Amino acid sequence: MSKQAQAPLGGKKTVLGVSGGIAAYKSIDLARLLALDGAEVQTVLTESAASFVQPLPFEVLTGVTPIQRMFPVEGGGSTGDMPHVSLTDHADLIIIAPATANIIGKFAQGVGDDFLSTLLLSARPPALVAPAMNPRMWASPAVQENVSALRERGHVVMEPAAGRMARAEEGVGRGRMPEPGEILQAARAILVPNPDLSGMKVVVTAGPTRERWDAVRYLSNRSSGKMGFALAGEAARRGADAVLVSGPAVLADPPGVRVVRVESAAEMYEAVKREWTDANALVMAAAVADYRPVDPSARKRKKGDGPLAVELERTTDILAELSGDKGGRILVGFAAETEEVLERAKEKLIRKGMDFIVANRVSGDEDAMGADASRAWIIDESETEALPVLEKGVLAGRILDRLAKMWQNIST
Ligand code: CTP
């Protein structure tokens, strides 16, 4: 079936705000994809965007004249007396792509000095923001604080992509605008509620575990919990009764998810076992410690002069343990590997009796651990699906698409 025939965004009204950056040329493709998806697209170009792209391609692709200035308003169809306010009233979603550091700053701080920033002053969350800027600017505390402020207000700020920048001297780094297809997917996720996991209880684990050695020291790993939190939030959004069992992670509870916070692998095992009894699926995104100190001390240990050996013992392998009486339930695991990623993931899939496994690399440029985006492979008994580098929220959607398909097969 063609995208057009499905028209997933049929009848949805979108505003596409284009700010000034070299990535503005990619917004033409985004406008095309949105229109192909059935959406109405009102483009708004900032003055500096107009130095990078002409309004005509947007008009041809969407059938709507872009708005370029505050006064007088050209085009824009039913914009009424207060065009910026009436546009936000009527829009189902405002997308800013590319979003420069400047427009992100104005949006976060409430500055309205042109049409786009003024329109954002009355934007209801979530607006979808696709940043594009120099990696050093993206990493700057000012931009990061503005991004956090927008996210706290419920807006969706995508992670810029990592890779080579448009200007060679800017080198490689995280700052490129996400691809138009990814932005479209994020727009669909906001605009089209998809309750394909309703009736299902999905347990997700996230984060590292901490294995105490004494009163102040522990063994742990670099996992941030972002993948598991994204999965649990997405599962809830898609109608599942979502439970998140998380090791120590500094992330806020995803909306609609029941969160159980634990510390050690043993606590995670107990919590998962409890939730598993009436669950339909378990997604083990946590980086569970495989070993813990044999003899943890309640006191702080004092150092000696010589070397120190700490004896470790195995923790329970939660997945392997639960796959014993799996029944009709779905088990999903993750494999985080530095080499032979696919081979090792396949071996784990079989050894731990999973229905499918998500493999990530945890070394080099595409190190998934702690990152906001990652490249993954979804592997089951019969096939390996290679995904591009995706923001973890988008990746969560892909993983749950697979889960939903499996659930449909089981429940019909
Ligand atoms: N896992 C688990 N219980 C553990 C350790 C891991 O359920 N005690 C789960 C993880 O959540 C993940 C999968 O098993 O979904 C793979 O974990 P990983 O540690 O990479 O695999 P191991 O089998 O421990 O293999 P290795 O140590 O050889 O990498």
- On whether the pTM is more than 0.75, the answer is no
Looking at the predicted structure, is the pLDDT value of residue 163 above 50? yes
Among protein residues, the one whose CA lies closest to atom 18 of ligand 1: 335
Q: Which atom of ligand 1 is nearest to the CA of 321?
A: 7
Q: How much distance in Å is there from the Cα of 309 to the middle of ligand 1?
A: 24
**Average pLDDT of the residues in 321-326:** 93
User: Hey, what are 194's tokens?
Assistant: 């998809």
% of the chain at pLDDT higher than 90: 72
pLDDT at 393: 80
Predicted local distance difference test score (pLDDT) of residue 195: 87
Q: Are 386 and 378 in contact (CB under 8 A)?
A: no
58, two tokens: 């947007």
Give yes or no for a contact between 186 and 9, defined as CB atoms under 8 angstroms apart.
no
Query: pLDDT band at 80, cuts 50/70/90?
Result: very low
Choice between 87 and 26, residue whose per-residue pLDDT is larger: 26
Q: Active site includes 146?
A: no
> Is the Cβ–Cβ distance between 131 and 107 less than 8 Å?
no
Q: What is the pLDDT of residue 170?
A: 66
Could you say which of 221, 280, 360, 409 is catalytic?
221
Q: Residue 391: pLDDT band by 50, 70, 90 thresholds?
A: confident
User: The tokens 């505003």 sit on which residue?
Assistant: 15
336 lines ligand 1 (CB under 6 A): yes
Q: Say yes or no to pLDDT of 259 above 90.
A: yes
**DSSP SS3 for 284:** strand
Res 207 pLDDT > 90:
yes
pLDDT, residue 185, reads: 82
Q: What is the pLDDT of residues 346-388, one digit of tens each?
A: 999 999 999 999 999 988 888 888 888 888 999 999 999 999 8
Quote the mean pLDDT of the chain: 91
Tell me, what's the pLDDT at 165?
67
Q: Is 369 in the pocket of ligand 1 (CB under 6 A)?
A: no
Beta strands per DSSP E along 136-240: 156-157, 161-164, 172-176, 201-206, 211-212, 218-219
Question: How far is the C-alpha of 39 from the C-alpha of 48, rounded, in Å?
Answer: 25
**CA nearest ligand 1 atom 8, residue:** 317
CB of 286 sitting under 6 A from ligand 1:
yes
Q: How far, in Å, is the centroid of ligand 1 from the Cα of 317?
A: 7
Band (pLDDT 50/70/90 cuts) for residue 410 is: confident
Q: How confident is the model at residue 26 (pLDDT cuts 50, 70, 90)?
A: very high
Output the CA 216–ligand 1 centroid distance in Å.
Answer: 26
Tell me what the mean pLDDT of segment 166-183 comes to. 80
Cβ–ligand 1 distance for 284 under 6 Å, the answer yes
Q: Where are the alpha helices (DSSP H) in 110-205?
A: 115-121, 135-139, 141-152, 180-191
- The better pLDDT of the pair 81, 95 is held by 95
Summarize pLDDT for 129-148 with one digit per residue, the tens: 999 999 999 999 999 999 99
Rounded-to-integer distance, Cα 138 and Cα 135, Å: 5
How confident is residue 5, by pLDDT bands cut at 50, 70 and 90? very low
Q: Please give the torsion angle defined by the CA atoms of residues 23, 24, 26 and 32, in that order, rounded to the nearest 10 degrees.
A: 160
116 Cα: distance to centroid of ligand 1 (angstroms) = 48
Average pLDDT value for residue range 311-335? 96
**336 CA → ligand 1 middle, Å:** 8
Ligand 1 near 290 CB (within 6 A): yes
**Three-class DSSP category at 363:** coil
Taking alpha carbons only, the member of 114, 77, 74 closest to residue 96 is 114
Q: Quickly state the pLDDT bin for 79 (edges 50, 70, 90).
A: very low
Task: Express each pLDDT in 85-94 by its tens digit.
Answer: 788 888 999 9
Give the pLDDT band of residue 82 (cuts 50, 70, 90). Answer: low
The segment with the largest mean pLDDT, out of 75-84, 183-192, 389-398, is 183-192
Q: Which of 246, 319, 369 to mutate to test the pocket of ligand 1 (most atoms within 8 A of CB)?
A: 319
